[in-house]
Amino acid sequence: MEAYLDNSATTPPCPEAIAAMREALTTVWGNPSSLHWAGLNAERLLAQSRESLAELFGCEPAEVTFTSGGTESNNLAIFGAANALRRRGRRVVTSAVEHSSIAESVKELASRGFEVVYLSVDRGGRVSEQELMQAINAETILVSLMAVNNEVGSLQPVEVIRRVVQYHRAPALIHCDAVQAFGKLPMQPARLGVDLMTVSSHKIHGPKGAGALYVRRGVKLNPLVYGGSQENRLRPGTEGMPAIAGFSAAVRALPNPMAIMDYVSSLRDRLVAGAASMEGVKLNSPPDALPYLTNLSVPGLQSETMLNFLSERGICVSSGSACAKGKKSRVLRAMGLGDADIAGALRISLSRFTTWEEIDAFLYALNEARLTLARK
């Protein structure tokens, strides 16, 4: 049987998102900036979409900026904050296990003269609160820490950053990449104490091409592009309404995340128990990782070889972040894993639509791969 277990890369769009996109393409196709009836209908849909996301965030609609996805939102947060605050300090604090859209952005900031401090992680992929306290100082203008790691599912202590920033009286803005947490955990920016928060549509069964950045009222960011007044001038250009409408519909279709956590946890427990019963299989995710995401290794076998073997049997998993394009995981390296574990790593990621049968199909195929490929 086929089993799609690569939901951290992308999720299949839900029926509600597909229907909303179809309507936006066929009946609400106007430009939201136009003043005639077609534009006003589109503007109304845009406002409703923004309100849907704001309700989930527990914020004002004006604090939601639509983007093309997580990577653009992260870039807008990093460069927008750094450029806006560069006269107040030059230090940027992040972790060694962030998504590539953060890692590459802060690398570019370093080339422009900013001081970038990378927080190390423990064997479970979690940063130390003590190291966080030491890294932030009065010159820190930005702290960016993801809520959930996209390769191993580690939960990061985002909620403690505000206290540390206040302790040091730093001018820092706090950014959270919540792409892997959104829709799976309660993610309200005010409760987390963050100024900026990134989310993406296609991780919650919405379409690709839509995302959002929460920008707390009063926070000033420098835009990345110029040319229009859309999205409070932070993201000028005609809004992609079909994708935004689908995103909004996917948001409205989300169940209470805690109401389905037990189900997803039971799927994960079955997955972990089954994998652990196979000789040589090692679990890389910490025990308290988000249940939606499990990373494991089969040392002695190459990830690419196993991925091809599994794919031929209808099983879709990955070797790590989809954005890495097969490169060896710097996340697992930062966690202290050896070459063999990194080379043989697989990421299995679930959704609320994952079934018991898919878990069992994966375990059967994994065991078959372990026994078959080891003989070659």
The pLDDT assigned to 119 comes to 98
For tokens 């003043």, what's the residue?
35
Does 269 score more than 60 pLDDT? Answer: yes
Does 283 score more than 90 pLDDT? Answer: yes
What's the CA gap between 197 and 161, in Å, rounded? 14
Q: Please report which confidence band the pLDDT of residue 228 belongs to, taking 50, 70 and 90 as the band edges.
A: confident
Token pair for 264: 């997803």
Q: Please report which confidence band the pLDDT of residue 238 belongs to, taking 50, 70 and 90 as the band edges.
A: confident
What is the arithmetic mean of pLDDT over 322-329?
62
| Extents of the domains making up the chain | 15-252, 255-372
Average pLDDT of the chain is: 95
What's the CA gap between 137 and 135, in Å, rounded? 6
What's the CA gap between 37 and 22, in Å, rounded? 19
- Give per-residue pLDDT as tens, 21-77: 999 999 999 888 888 988 899 899 999 999 999 999 999 999 999 999 999 999 999
Q: Please report which confidence band the pLDDT of residue 325 belongs to, taking 50, 70 and 90 as the band edges.
A: low
Does 326 score more than 60 pLDDT? Answer: no
Does 361 score more than 70 pLDDT? Answer: yes
Give the DSSP H or E segment for 243.
helix 241-253
* DSSP letter for each residue of 309-347: HHHHTTEE-BSS-GGGTTPPPHHHHHTT--HHHHHTEEE
CATH fold match for the domains 15-252 and 255-372: no
Q: Please report which confidence band the pLDDT of residue 229 belongs to, taking 50, 70 and 90 as the band edges.
A: confident
CA angle 247/251/252 to nearest 5° reads 120
The pLDDT assigned to 17 comes to 98
**Residue in 14, 59, 176, 323 annotated catalytic:** 323
Is residue 323 annotated as a catalytic residue, yes or no? yes
- Whether 81 and 175 have beta carbons less than 8 Å apart is answered as yes
Q: What is the largest CA-CA distance in the chain?
A: 69
* Model confidence, pTM: 0.95
For residue 182, the cross-strand partners are: 185
Does 182 score more than 60 pLDDT? Answer: yes
What's the CA gap between 267 and 286, in Å, rounded? 16
What is the arithmetic mean of pLDDT over 2-11?
97
The pLDDT assigned to 39 comes to 83
Pick the CATH number of 255-372 from 3.30.9.10, 3.90.1150.10, 3.40.50.10800, 3.30.300.10: 3.90.1150.10
Token pair for 141: 């203008």
Q: Please report which confidence band the pLDDT of residue 320 belongs to, taking 50, 70 and 90 as the band edges.
A: low
- Give per-residue pLDDT as tens, 148-166: 999 999 999 999 999 999 9
Residue 291 makes CB contacts below 8 A (sequence gap 6+) with: 153, 261, 264, 265, 267, 268, 350
- Return the number of other C-beta atoms located less than 10 Å from residue 157's C-beta: 14
Report, at the CATH architecture level, how domain 15-252 is classified. 3-Layer(aba) Sandwich (3.40)
